[in-house]
Structure 1
Amino acid sequence: MWNVLPILNSKKREQIRIMFFTVKILALFFCAIPILEYYNARYQGYDIYNIYYIGMTFMIFSIIMLLLMFIFTRKQQRQFYYILEIVIFVAVFVFSIYVSGANRSENKYIFIFLIISYTIEYGMKTGLIISGVATGVIAAMDLIYGDNTSVNLQFENDLALFAMFFLVAWTIGHYAKLEENHIKELVDFANIDGLTGTYNHRYFYEVLEKMFEESKEKTTPLSLVMLDLDNFKTYNDVYGHAQGDAILKEVAGILKGVIRKKDLLCRYGGDEFCVILPDTDKDEAIRIADQFREVICGYEYHGKENMNNMMMTASIGVSTSSIEMERHVNLIENADMALYRAKFLRRNKVEVYSSIFDHIMEKEPNENLLEEIKPLKTLMTVINSRDTYTFNHVERVFHYCRIAAEYMGLSPEDKRTLLFGAYLHDLGKINISKETLITSSRLTKEQWEELKKHPQDSADIVSQIKGFERIVPVVQQHHEKYDGSGYPLGLQGEEIDYLARILTIADSFDAMTNQRPYQKTKSFQEAFEEIERCKGTHFDPILADKFMEALKEF
C-alpha cells in the first residue's frame, strides 16, 4: 500500500530531520571541548603545540561536519549513508570520552544526545541499538582501564548510566510511536472515506499528482482505472440508500482483496471508484481492470433476483500516462472518457482510452502527414480551452464513426477518410466567438448565422493540407440534411457525400445524448427513436438503420 505519511508530511519531516541534525552537530562540537582540554593539559607551556593541535582539531571537526552534511543530503536515498552517519557520530563520541579520561571521564553522558535524537527520528529500535553500543563501549573502558583487583567503582557507578540509556530509549521510543499512531489516525480521518474505508476524493487528487510527477521523473508508466457500478441508481431506488451504502462497502472490500500492495484504491464519488496503478503499462492495466470486472460479476449481493441481469456489473475505463502527457488531470480525463464509452456503448466492459490523434497516426505512419496535421491538433487544443464540450464531442463522434465504419465494412480508404472527417469536422469553430460557443440559452438569430459558418470554415482549413482533398466534402457537408433543408449548400439525397451522411448521423446522435444548455439530454433509446423518426428527412434511411444496428451490437 502507498505510504501516506511520507507524502503528506514530507515538509514537516524535513524540518524534523534538520532540527535533529542540528542537535547532533552541536553535540559533535561539544565533543571537541574535552579533546581541546586534553591537548591543553598535555602540552601546557608549549604554545606552539597548543596552537597546532587546536588548529588540527578544528580542521578535523570541520571535515567531519562537511562529511556529515554530505551524508545528510544522501541518506534518504541509501541505507548505507544512514549507517555511516551513526558510525561517525559514535566514533567521535568514543574518542572524546577516551581522551577525557576513558573510564574516569565525566563526559560519558554525551551519548544521551545521540540516543534521544535517533530514537525520536528513527524509532525505539534504533535508540536501543545505540544504547547498547554506548553501554558496550563505556563498560569496556571501565573493565580495561579500571581497577579490577577489587571492586571496580567506575563500572559500578556506570550501571545507573547504562540503565538510563535504555530507559530513555524505551520511554522516548514508546512516546514517539504513540505520537506517530495519533498522527496516522488524524491523517486517516482526513483522507479515508468514512463509508467504504478507501481513500477519498481529495486524497486521490493529491496523491495522483505526486505519483504522476514521480513517474515522469523516472520515466515509468502510471495507469489509472476508473470503475462505475452499472444500474446502481436503480438498486438504490428499489432497496434504499442504506442498502445501497452496504453494497458500496462490500464492493470496496472486494476490490481491496484484488489490488496489489503498491496500488491505491479510492472512492471517486457516488458509486465510482478509482485505482491508481504505479509502474503499470497499458496491457497490465487492462488485465487488472478485467479482473476487477470479473470479481464484481461474481459478487453475490442482496436483492440480485430483482435486478434485470441478476448480476452486479461494472463499466471500467483505463488510461496510461505517456511522455506527451503534461498534467495528472489529463490521466483522469482520459480514464473518464474511456469509462464513458464503456458505460454508454456497452455496460460490463473495460474500455481503454486511445487518443484520436494517436489512433489516426497509427493508421497513417507518414512523417510528412504527421507534420501537416500537427497544426490541426493545436487548433483542437485551442478549441478545447474555449469550449470543452466541442473537444469531447469530437472524441465521441470519432469513436461512433469507427464503430459504424467497422460494422458497415467500409474500405480502408473510406474508413480513413471518415475518421479524419470526424476528427476535423468542427475545426471551423475556431472562428466562432466564445460567447456563442458556451451560451447557456437558445442561440439568437445572429449567433445561429455565425454558427452555421463552421462547416465551410472547417472545409477551408482542411483544404490547405495536401492529400486531404477527399476529406473536404465530408467536413463541409456534415450538416446537410437528406431532404435538402441543411446547410451550407442545401444538398439533398445522394448529392450529399456518402461518408458525410454517416458523419451527420454520428454527429446528431452525440448531440442528442449529451448535455447541452439549450436542449434536454436523451437516452440512447430515445436518440434511436429520434433517428428513426427523422429517417428520410434529416438522415439517409439506409445508413441510419446500419448506424443504429452497429451501436446496438457493439
Structure 2
Amino acid sequence: MIYILYQRRIVWWKHIINFAVYALMIVSAHYVFVQTGGHTGPMEPTALYSYLLAMTAYFTVNVIALGIYFMLLIKKSLFQVIHGFVKETITAYISTLLLSLMLTMMFETHFYFGLFLFLIIAVLLSVSFKQLFRLYQEVSDKAARDPRTNLFNHGYFEELLEKELAQAKASGSPLSLVILDVDSFKKYNDTFGHLKGDKLLEFFSKLLLQECDPHHYIAGRHGGDEFTILLPGKRERETFSFINSLRKKVNDSYFEGVEIFPHGCLTFSAGIIEYTGGIYDKSQLMDKADQALYYAKAQGKNLVHIYNEQSPISKTIDIEQDIQEIEQQLKIFLSKDIYTFQHSKRVFTYAMDLCDYIPLSDAEKRTLILGALFHDIGKLEVPKHILQKKEKLTAEEWSIVKKHVIWGKEIVSAIDKYSDLIPLVELHHERVDGKGYPYGLAGDDIPKLARILCVIDSFDAMTTERPYQKTKTFDEAIQELRRCAGQQFDEAFVESFIRMIANKYDFKLEEMNSVS
C-alpha cells in the first residue's frame, strides 16, 4: 500500500500485477510450510526443514513471475532470463530469507521494534531490487540495440526475424520484411564528415522509431546506412502503403545539409518482400528484400519496390557468360568424378528444355538453368573413394554424401552473383512428403524451382549408369516418377517433365501411360 501511494505515476494495472505476484509468493510459501509439517505461530527451530522449503517456494514463484515479465519485455527464452536472473540475485534472496527468520524470532520479544525493522529493511530491499531490475534491463538493451541509433542491432534483429518467420509458417499469418537504404549517404559523409553523418543516421533512426513503435513494427539497423523493418501480420500492399508514407515524411523532414542530395531532401530507397510458402529461411527472405532494394535504387532512388519474380533482373547478366563461368568450375570434377560432371551437364540440358513446358518468368528460367548446372557442386567436398565406390554405400558413407547439399550452399554463398541459386543447390533433395534432406521440408515450403529440379535430377540419376545402382530405361524411370508423384515429387511438375521427354525423344504418351 505504501508503494502504491509512493509510486502514483505507475499505471494501476502494474500495481495489480505486482500485488498478485506477492500474493502468489506468500500463499505458495504458506501452503508449502503447512504441508511439510510447519505450524503458524512462534518460531520453531525443530521445523527448520519446513521453513527452508517455504523460503524456496517463495523464491521460486518470485523468480518465475519476474522471469516471465522480462521474457515478454526483452523477447528472450524463459530459461535464459531465469538463468541470468538467478545468477545475479541468488545471494540477495538468501540473505533476505535468512533475515526474515531473524525478524520472526525478534517478534516474540520485541514485536514493535521488530516490525519497524522489517518495514525499513523491506523498503530498502525494494529500492535495491528496483535498481537491480533497471540495471538488468539496461544491460539487456545494450546487448540487443545498436548504440548509435537505438534500433535493434543486426544480430538481435535476425533472431527476431527467425522467430517471426517460424510463427508465420506455423500459423499461416502474413509477414513482411523491408530493407531500406539512405540514398547518397556517402556523399553526405564525404562532404560534412563522419560525425555529422552519424548525427544524420540518429535523426533518421528517430523518425523510424516514431513511425514504427505505435504499430509494434520491429526496426533494426542492418549496417552502415541500411535499415530493416519487420511487419508481423502485414501483407506486401499494406507494407508498401506504410513505407511509402514513411518515405514522404522523411522527404519532408529537414536536416542540415540535405540540400546536397540529388532530390534536395533526405530520401531513402526500400525493398519489400512478403513471406510465402516457397521461402524456407530468413536468409532467403533477406536476399529477396535486398534484390527489391537494389531494383528501387537502380530506378533512380527515393522509391519503394515490392519484390516480384517477374521484375527485371536487378543485375543484368549474360546467361551464356554465366554458363561458361560455371562450366569452368565444374570441370574440376573431371579430375575427381566424371559422372558428376556429366550428370550436371545432362540435368542442365533437361532444365533448358523444360522451361518451354512450365510457365516461368525470365528470372526463374535463368535461376533454374544455372541451378541445374551448379546443383551438385558440393560433391567436390565428398572423398573421391566414396564417389567412385562400386558397392552399396554404408550408412556412414551415405551420411557424408548427403552433406554435399550443405557444402554446395557454402560454395555458392561465397559467390555473390549466384546467391539466388542457393535454394536449388541446398534443397534439391527435399521431398514433398517431408522425408527428404537436409531439413525435411514438405509441400510448398520447398521452393518451386527446387521441386522442379528434384524431378529432373532424379530422372537423370535413374536413367544413367552409376557405380552403385542399376540403370533404368526411360519407360521405367517415367513409371517411377509417376509412382512417387505426390510423395517424393510434385505431381504437376512430373507431368510437365514427362510431356517434355515425350516430345523431345518422340515417345508416345499413350505407350507411357500403358506402361505406368
> What TM-score range do you get, normalising by the shorter chain?
0.3 to 0.5
**Rg larger in structure:** 1
* Normalised TM-score (structure 1): 0.44
TM-score where L is the length of structure 2: 0.47
